[in-house]
Amino acid sequence: MTRNPYLPNPARIEDVVVENEARDIKTFRLAFTEPNAAEFRYLPGQFAELSLPGLGEAPFGIASSPAEEGFLLFSVKRVGLFTTELHSLEPGAAIGVRGPMGKPFPWERMAGKNLVIVGGGFAFTTLRAAIKHILHPDHRGGYGSVLVVYGARTPGELMYRNELAEWQKRDDIQVHLTVDKAENGWNQHVGVVPAVLEQLKPSPQDTLAIICGPPIMLKFTLAALSKLGFPDDTVILSLEMRMKCGIGKCGRCNIGAKYVCKDGPVFTRQELQELPAEY
Protein backbone atom coordinates (compact mmCIF):
# COMPACT_ATOMS: atom_id res chain seq x y z
CA MET A 1 0.00 0.00 0.00
CA THR A 2 1.29 3.51 -0.82
CA ARG A 3 2.22 5.48 2.27
CA ASN A 4 0.15 8.63 2.97
CA PRO A 5 2.45 11.49 1.78
CA TYR A 6 1.12 13.77 4.53
CA LEU A 7 2.23 11.39 7.32
CA PRO A 8 5.61 12.15 8.88
CA ASN A 9 8.07 9.37 9.73
CA PRO A 10 8.72 9.34 13.46
CA ALA A 11 12.34 10.11 14.30
CA ARG A 12 14.53 11.00 17.28
CA ILE A 13 17.19 13.67 17.66
CA GLU A 14 20.49 11.86 18.25
CA ASP A 15 22.90 14.77 18.37
CA VAL A 16 22.93 18.57 18.13
CA VAL A 17 25.97 20.61 17.07
CA VAL A 18 26.20 24.41 17.21
CA GLU A 19 27.67 25.48 13.87
CA ASN A 20 28.50 29.18 14.27
CA GLU A 21 29.73 31.80 16.72
CA ALA A 22 26.35 33.56 16.75
CA ARG A 23 24.95 30.18 17.94
CA ASP A 24 21.86 30.56 15.76
CA ILE A 25 22.65 27.67 13.39
CA LYS A 26 22.52 24.12 14.72
CA THR A 27 22.97 20.80 12.94
CA PHE A 28 20.56 18.09 14.09
CA ARG A 29 21.38 14.41 13.56
CA LEU A 30 18.12 12.46 13.31
CA ALA A 31 17.46 8.71 13.26
CA PHE A 32 14.17 7.12 12.29
CA THR A 33 12.46 5.13 15.01
CA GLU A 34 10.35 2.82 12.79
CA PRO A 35 11.49 0.25 10.21
CA ASN A 36 9.53 1.79 7.27
CA ALA A 37 12.20 4.52 7.25
CA ALA A 38 14.09 2.36 4.74
CA GLU A 39 11.64 3.85 2.21
CA PHE A 40 13.19 7.29 2.77
CA ARG A 41 15.61 7.26 -0.18
CA TYR A 42 17.04 10.59 -1.23
CA LEU A 43 19.77 12.28 -3.23
CA PRO A 44 21.61 15.52 -2.34
CA GLY A 45 19.59 18.59 -3.30
CA GLN A 46 16.31 17.25 -1.89
CA PHE A 47 14.57 18.56 1.22
CA ALA A 48 12.15 17.31 3.89
CA GLU A 49 9.46 18.79 6.11
CA LEU A 50 10.37 18.49 9.81
CA SER A 51 7.42 18.51 12.21
CA LEU A 52 6.98 19.23 15.90
CA PRO A 53 3.78 18.42 17.79
CA GLY A 54 1.54 21.48 18.17
CA LEU A 55 3.75 23.65 15.93
CA GLY A 56 3.33 22.14 12.47
CA GLU A 57 6.07 21.69 9.92
CA ALA A 58 8.80 23.57 8.08
CA PRO A 59 10.98 22.62 5.07
CA PHE A 60 14.75 22.11 5.38
CA GLY A 61 17.38 20.92 2.90
CA ILE A 62 18.89 17.53 3.74
CA ALA A 63 22.49 18.22 4.74
CA SER A 64 23.63 14.58 4.90
CA SER A 65 24.51 12.39 1.93
CA PRO A 66 22.82 9.00 1.42
CA ALA A 67 26.23 7.34 1.93
CA GLU A 68 26.10 8.52 5.56
CA GLU A 69 23.88 5.64 6.49
CA GLY A 70 21.58 5.40 9.49
CA PHE A 71 20.96 9.10 10.06
CA LEU A 72 19.91 12.37 8.44
CA LEU A 73 21.45 15.79 9.06
CA PHE A 74 19.62 19.12 8.95
CA SER A 75 21.34 22.45 9.64
CA VAL A 76 18.79 24.96 10.83
CA LYS A 77 19.04 28.71 11.40
CA ARG A 78 16.89 30.08 14.22
CA VAL A 79 14.60 32.69 12.65
CA GLY A 80 11.04 32.29 14.03
CA LEU A 81 8.61 30.14 15.97
CA PHE A 82 9.34 26.69 14.54
CA THR A 83 13.10 27.03 14.36
CA THR A 84 13.30 28.53 17.88
CA GLU A 85 11.42 25.54 19.29
CA LEU A 86 13.62 23.14 17.31
CA HIS A 87 16.74 24.85 18.68
CA SER A 88 15.49 24.27 22.24
CA LEU A 89 15.37 20.48 21.75
CA GLU A 90 18.03 18.11 23.02
CA PRO A 91 19.12 14.60 22.03
CA GLY A 92 16.34 12.11 22.69
CA ALA A 93 13.51 14.46 21.62
CA ALA A 94 10.92 13.19 19.13
CA ILE A 95 10.48 14.82 15.73
CA GLY A 96 8.64 13.98 12.47
CA VAL A 97 10.28 13.82 9.04
CA ARG A 98 8.12 13.94 5.90
CA GLY A 99 9.75 13.41 2.53
CA PRO A 100 12.11 13.28 0.78
CA MET A 101 10.73 16.07 -1.38
CA GLY A 102 11.63 17.95 -4.54
CA LYS A 103 14.12 17.24 -7.27
CA PRO A 104 17.77 16.62 -6.33
CA PHE A 105 20.73 18.15 -8.09
CA PRO A 106 20.90 16.65 -11.64
CA TRP A 107 23.30 13.83 -10.76
CA GLU A 108 23.08 12.05 -14.12
CA ARG A 109 23.94 15.27 -15.95
CA MET A 110 26.76 16.01 -13.50
CA ALA A 111 28.47 12.65 -14.20
CA GLY A 112 31.87 13.13 -15.86
CA LYS A 113 31.69 16.94 -15.63
CA ASN A 114 33.90 19.45 -13.84
CA LEU A 115 31.89 21.01 -11.02
CA VAL A 116 31.93 24.53 -9.62
CA ILE A 117 30.05 24.59 -6.31
CA VAL A 118 29.23 28.02 -4.94
CA GLY A 119 27.62 28.66 -1.56
CA GLY A 120 26.83 31.60 0.66
CA GLY A 121 25.80 31.75 4.31
CA PHE A 122 23.68 29.03 5.86
CA ALA A 123 22.35 27.87 2.45
CA PHE A 124 25.49 25.69 2.23
CA THR A 125 23.53 22.72 3.70
CA THR A 126 22.61 20.79 0.56
CA LEU A 127 26.00 21.70 -0.95
CA ARG A 128 27.62 19.96 2.01
CA ALA A 129 25.49 16.91 1.11
CA ALA A 130 26.59 17.17 -2.54
CA ILE A 131 30.31 17.43 -1.64
CA LYS A 132 30.11 14.41 0.71
CA HIS A 133 28.41 12.47 -2.09
CA ILE A 134 31.02 13.43 -4.72
CA LEU A 135 33.99 12.72 -2.41
CA HIS A 136 32.76 9.24 -1.46
CA PRO A 137 35.40 6.75 -2.69
CA ASP A 138 32.77 4.96 -4.82
CA HIS A 139 31.77 8.22 -6.55
CA ARG A 140 34.79 10.54 -6.79
CA GLY A 141 36.08 8.94 -10.02
CA GLY A 142 32.77 9.75 -11.71
CA TYR A 143 33.39 13.54 -11.80
CA GLY A 144 36.11 15.84 -13.15
CA SER A 145 37.65 18.67 -11.14
CA VAL A 146 35.70 20.06 -8.18
CA LEU A 147 36.03 23.72 -7.20
CA VAL A 148 34.16 24.98 -4.13
CA VAL A 149 33.76 28.66 -3.24
CA TYR A 150 31.99 29.22 0.06
CA GLY A 151 31.55 32.54 1.82
CA ALA A 152 30.13 33.93 5.04
CA ARG A 153 30.18 37.29 6.79
CA THR A 154 32.92 36.33 9.25
CA PRO A 155 35.09 33.22 9.80
CA GLY A 156 32.90 32.26 12.78
CA GLU A 157 29.83 32.11 10.55
CA LEU A 158 31.23 29.39 8.23
CA MET A 159 29.48 26.09 8.91
CA TYR A 160 31.05 22.60 8.99
CA ARG A 161 34.46 24.10 9.80
CA ASN A 162 36.18 20.77 10.63
CA GLU A 163 35.06 19.25 7.34
CA LEU A 164 36.09 22.34 5.37
CA ALA A 165 39.58 22.05 6.87
CA GLU A 166 39.74 18.34 5.95
CA TRP A 167 38.60 19.01 2.38
CA GLN A 168 41.23 21.74 2.02
CA LYS A 169 43.96 19.13 2.72
CA ARG A 170 42.82 16.90 -0.16
CA ASP A 171 44.18 17.15 -3.68
CA ASP A 172 40.98 16.02 -5.43
CA ILE A 173 38.93 19.08 -4.47
CA GLN A 174 39.80 22.81 -4.30
CA VAL A 175 38.02 24.63 -1.50
CA HIS A 176 38.20 28.45 -1.38
CA LEU A 177 36.71 30.13 1.68
CA THR A 178 35.95 33.81 1.84
CA VAL A 179 34.60 36.23 4.44
CA ASP A 180 33.26 39.77 4.19
CA LYS A 181 35.18 40.77 7.29
CA ALA A 182 38.50 39.18 8.24
CA GLU A 183 39.39 38.61 11.87
CA ASN A 184 42.71 37.91 13.57
CA GLY A 185 44.42 34.90 12.09
CA TRP A 186 42.27 34.67 8.94
CA ASN A 187 44.60 33.96 6.00
CA GLN A 188 42.11 33.05 3.27
CA HIS A 189 40.05 35.19 0.88
CA VAL A 190 38.38 38.42 1.95
CA GLY A 191 35.55 39.64 -0.26
CA VAL A 192 32.22 38.54 -1.59
CA VAL A 193 31.77 35.13 -3.23
CA PRO A 194 31.19 36.42 -6.82
CA ALA A 195 34.41 38.48 -6.67
CA VAL A 196 36.41 35.42 -5.57
CA LEU A 197 34.81 33.38 -8.32
CA GLU A 198 35.85 36.00 -10.88
CA GLN A 199 39.44 35.93 -9.55
CA LEU A 200 39.58 32.12 -9.76
CA LYS A 201 38.20 32.16 -13.33
CA PRO A 202 36.94 28.56 -13.60
CA SER A 203 36.57 27.46 -17.23
CA PRO A 204 33.01 26.79 -18.42
CA GLN A 205 34.34 23.96 -20.62
CA ASP A 206 32.59 20.65 -19.66
CA THR A 207 31.57 22.30 -16.40
CA LEU A 208 28.35 22.69 -14.42
CA ALA A 209 27.98 25.34 -11.71
CA ILE A 210 25.75 24.70 -8.69
CA ILE A 211 24.76 27.65 -6.51
CA CYS A 212 22.92 27.98 -3.19
CA GLY A 213 22.77 31.20 -1.24
CA PRO A 214 20.78 34.28 -0.28
CA PRO A 215 19.08 36.19 -3.14
CA ILE A 216 21.69 38.98 -3.31
CA MET A 217 24.53 36.47 -3.56
CA LEU A 218 22.64 34.50 -6.24
CA LYS A 219 22.12 37.66 -8.28
CA PHE A 220 25.81 38.66 -8.34
CA THR A 221 27.06 35.07 -8.69
CA LEU A 222 24.86 34.61 -11.76
CA ALA A 223 26.35 37.80 -13.22
CA ALA A 224 29.89 36.54 -12.49
CA LEU A 225 29.18 33.19 -14.13
CA SER A 226 27.80 34.97 -17.22
CA LYS A 227 30.99 37.02 -17.43
CA LEU A 228 33.02 33.82 -17.21
CA GLY A 229 31.04 32.39 -20.14
CA PHE A 230 28.83 29.82 -18.39
CA PRO A 231 25.74 29.18 -20.60
CA ASP A 232 22.40 29.42 -18.75
CA ASP A 233 21.70 25.68 -18.96
CA THR A 234 24.99 24.89 -17.15
CA VAL A 235 24.07 26.96 -14.07
CA ILE A 236 22.00 25.14 -11.45
CA LEU A 237 20.32 26.93 -8.52
CA SER A 238 18.31 25.84 -5.52
CA LEU A 239 15.41 28.13 -4.52
CA GLU A 240 13.87 28.65 -1.08
CA MET A 241 10.23 29.70 -1.50
CA ARG A 242 7.62 29.64 1.26
CA MET A 243 6.01 26.15 1.22
CA LYS A 244 3.25 24.21 2.89
CA CYS A 245 2.39 20.75 1.52
CA GLY A 246 5.75 20.13 -0.19
CA ILE A 247 4.16 17.78 -2.74
CA GLY A 248 2.60 20.03 -5.37
CA LYS A 249 -0.96 20.09 -3.98
CA CYS A 250 -1.58 23.36 -2.10
CA GLY A 251 -0.30 25.93 -4.63
CA ARG A 252 1.65 27.87 -1.97
CA CYS A 253 5.01 27.78 -3.74
CA ASN A 254 4.23 28.25 -7.42
CA ILE A 255 6.13 30.46 -9.85
CA GLY A 256 3.97 30.63 -12.97
CA ALA A 257 3.04 27.05 -13.82
CA LYS A 258 5.87 25.49 -11.77
CA TYR A 259 5.69 24.33 -8.17
CA VAL A 260 9.04 24.95 -6.47
CA CYS A 261 8.41 22.04 -4.06
CA LYS A 262 7.81 19.46 -6.81
CA ASP A 263 9.39 20.82 -10.02
CA GLY A 264 12.32 22.26 -7.98
CA PRO A 265 13.74 23.44 -5.66
CA VAL A 266 16.63 22.76 -8.06
CA PHE A 267 16.32 24.53 -11.44
CA THR A 268 18.72 25.55 -14.19
CA ARG A 269 19.07 29.27 -14.82
CA GLN A 270 17.57 28.65 -18.24
CA GLU A 271 14.43 27.09 -16.71
CA LEU A 272 14.06 30.06 -14.36
CA GLN A 273 14.36 32.55 -17.19
CA GLU A 274 11.30 31.01 -18.81
CA LEU A 275 9.26 31.74 -15.61
CA PRO A 276 7.82 35.00 -14.24
CA ALA A 277 10.43 36.80 -12.04
CA GLU A 278 8.66 36.00 -8.74
CA TYR A 279 11.55 34.35 -6.92
Ligand X SMILES: Cc1cc2nc3c(=O)[nH]c(=O)nc-3n(C[C@H](O)[C@H](O)[C@H](O)COP(=O)(O)OP(=O)(O)OC[C@H]3O[C@@H](n4cnc5c(N)ncnc54)[C@H](O)[C@@H]3O)c2cc1C
Residues that bind ligand FES (CB under 6 A): 243-246, 248-253, 259, 261
Which residue among 18, 22, 79, 94 contacts ligand X (CB under 6 A)?
A: 79
Mask for 37-66, x = binds ligand X (CB under 6 A): ----------x----------xxxx-----
Residue 100: strand, helix, or coil: strand
Choice between 213 and 246, CB closer to ligand FES: 246
In the complex, minimum distance from the CB of residue 251 to ligand FES, in angstroms, rounded to a whole number = 5
Between the two ends of the chain, the Cα-to-Cα distance in Å is 37
Is the four-CA dihedral 236, 213, 130, 154 of positive or negative sign?
positive
Strand partners of residue 32: 11
Size of the site for ligand X (CB under 6 A): 20
DSSP state of 4: P
- Phi and psi for 269 in degrees, rounded to 5? -60, -35
Contact 160, 131 (CB under 8 A): no
- 18 touches ligand X by CB under 6 A: no
> What is the C-alpha separation between 152 and 154, in angstroms, rounded?
6
- 250 touches ligand X by CB under 6 A: no
- Phi and psi based region of residue 22 (left: phi greater than 0; alpha: psi -120 to 50; beta: remaining): alpha
Choice between 103 and 252, CB closer to ligand FES: 252
R_g of the chain computed on alpha carbons: 18
- 82 touches ligand X by CB under 6 A: yes
The listed partner (ligand X, ligand FES, none) that binds 143, CB under 5 to 8 Å by sort, is: none
- 75 touches ligand X by CB under 6 A: yes
The listed partner (ligand X, ligand FES, none) that binds 244, CB under 5 to 8 Å by sort, is: ligand FES
Binding site for ligand X (CB under 6 A): 47, 58-61, 75-77, 79-83, 122, 125, 240-243, 265
